[in-house]
Amino acid sequence: MSQDDQSPVLFEERSCANGMRVGFATLNAPRTLNGFSLAMAHLLSERLAAWQADAGIAAVVLQGAGEKAFCAGGDLHGLYQSILVHHASGSTAIVDNAFAAEFFEVEYRLDHAIHHYPKPLLCWGHGIVMGGGLGLMGGASHRVVSERSKLAFPEISVGLFPDVGGSWLLGRVPGNAGLFLGLTGALLGPADAIHAGLADVHILEAQRAAVLEALLQHAWSGDGQADKAGLDVLLQGFAREAPAGPLQQHAGLIDQLCHDDGLEAIVARLLAVDSEDVWLQAAVKTLRHGAPGSARLAYALRQQAQGASLADVFRMEYLAALHGCAHGDFAEGIRALLIDKDRNPRWQHASLAQADQAWAQTYFTAPWPAGQHPLADLGHHDNARN
């Protein structure tokens, strides 16, 4: 089963040696580094649901076309245009940006479904995996990184915050490193991605074809849990140890810098870092030039996500994302990075003192009556990976 080469997602089913099938879903926009669009979200949601209901499908593979990226993030151009239209309408209601409301709802529902997918779902995270790409990869039962993988939550540079469940994922990174990653957008190579709990196994890119062929020769049982365990063993047969990266090398320092005695103190320590390490320099530079409002929101969401279910985190992020589209720095961040490309964003707040806790709390003000959140039904049977 396949679609024409112009489809934003290509689907294929391949027969296995024992008669069962593996479904392959390939993000198909390599010229935009497989930027995740609303059309992609709808197509993937529909097909994953169909494959879940099909007893003949034993496992699913999610990958990206091209050599550079699995998925570099969400459709920022589409969101930018929707923000312009919303602003031109004169409306200040966050729900009146219909495109953003649909985009984030469909994307977050898909990401949540991946976290709970009952069959083995292998995500091959080659090359760039950022933002929306991590939303897709984060909940997969089996997450592969290769030697060229580069993972990050870079939203502070575009005036957003780590969404797509990022508040939940980063809250599970060892030590205080999750907060560091959310504030600095620091890049992670394969070993650091595994250390951070954002990936499971490192396999050389040259082995991808062999791994996919092994899936077709595997003796799938049709029992989701047993097949997940079997895929663990299969992938370990191809795994290669990757050298420890800077997140691990600087773990002690990062824990000290991000000791939680308040966001202002944490940011002050980070900006005062004097190091010759290129990775640390890049992280501090990103924080220095990023949106203070994004830093505040990332911190506020991290606090509110503690002890919350995955579904509750998605509900919080959905609300905050709509606020960000309606009156935040998101449009200005996209303009500076992708539209005018001057890389000189003029953030609404020049400092954390201006983007204070009271301001951040406005992002959690819901326009819906209790129980009528668009994602109210999400997570009635949450048992996502811890």
Tokens of 362: 């406005």
pLDDT tens-digit series, residues 284-331 = 999 999 999 999 999 999 999 999 999 999 999 999 999 999 999 999
CA angle 316, 383, 247 (to 5 degrees): 70
| Residue of 66, 62, 213, 46 lying closest to 143 (CA atoms) | 62
What residue has token string 């200005």?
A: 332
Q: How confident is the model at residue 381 (pLDDT cuts 50, 70, 90)?
A: low
Give the containing element (helix H, strand E) for 303. helix 292-305
**What is d(CA 20, CA 243) in angstroms, rounded to the nearest whole number?**
37
- What the block records as the tokens of 269 is 């320590």
Instruction: Tell me the pLDDT tens digit for each residue of 115-153.
Output: 999 999 999 999 999 999 999 999 999 999 999 999 999
CB neighbours of residue 201 within 10 Å:
18
Q: Which helix (H) or strand (E) holds 311?
A: helix 310-327
Per-residue pLDDT, averaged over 82-110, amounts to 97
pLDDT in tens, 153-200: 999 999 999 999 999 999 999 999 999 999 999 999 999 999 999 999
CATH C-level class of 9-364? alpha beta
> Tokens representing 11?
């689907």
At 379 the pLDDT is 87
Cα 115 to Cα 6, 89, 143, 251, 337: the distances in Å are 28, 37, 12, 27, 31
Q: Distance (Å, rounded) from C-alpha 319 to C-alpha 301?
A: 11
**Residue 53, number of CB atoms within 10 A of its CB:** 8
* 254 Cβ contact list (under 8 Å, min separation 6): 175, 176, 177, 180, 247
CB 316 within 8 A of CB 301: yes
**Residue 386 confidence class, pLDDT cut points 50, 70, 90:** very low
Average pLDDT for the chain: 96
Domain ranges for the chain, please list them: 9-364
pLDDT 10s digits, 217-229: 999 999 999 999 9
pLDDT of amino acid 4: 61
pLDDT of residue 2: 44
Q: Would you state the torsion angle of the CA atoms of residues 151, 155, 158, 160, taken in this order, to the nearest 10 degrees?
A: 160
Strands 21-27 and 201-202: unpaired
Would you say 321 and 103 are in contact if contact means Cβ atoms under 8 Å apart? no
Measured at the CA of 144, the angle between CA 190 and CA 51, to 5 degrees, comes to 155
**For range 249-260, the mean pLDDT:** 97
68-80 burial code (b ≥16 CB/10 A, e <16) = bbbbbbbbbebbb
pTM for the whole structure = 0.96
Q: Report pLDDT for 292.
A: 98
202 and 146 Cβ atoms separated by less than 8 Å:
yes
Which two structure tokens, joined as six digits, stand for 317?
A: 């992020």
Give me the phi and psi of 69, to 5 degrees please: -155, 145
| Residue 256 near residue 292 (C-beta atoms within 8 A) | no
d(CA 136, CA 117): 12
Alpha-carbon torsion, ordered 294, 295, 298, 302, to 10 deg: -160
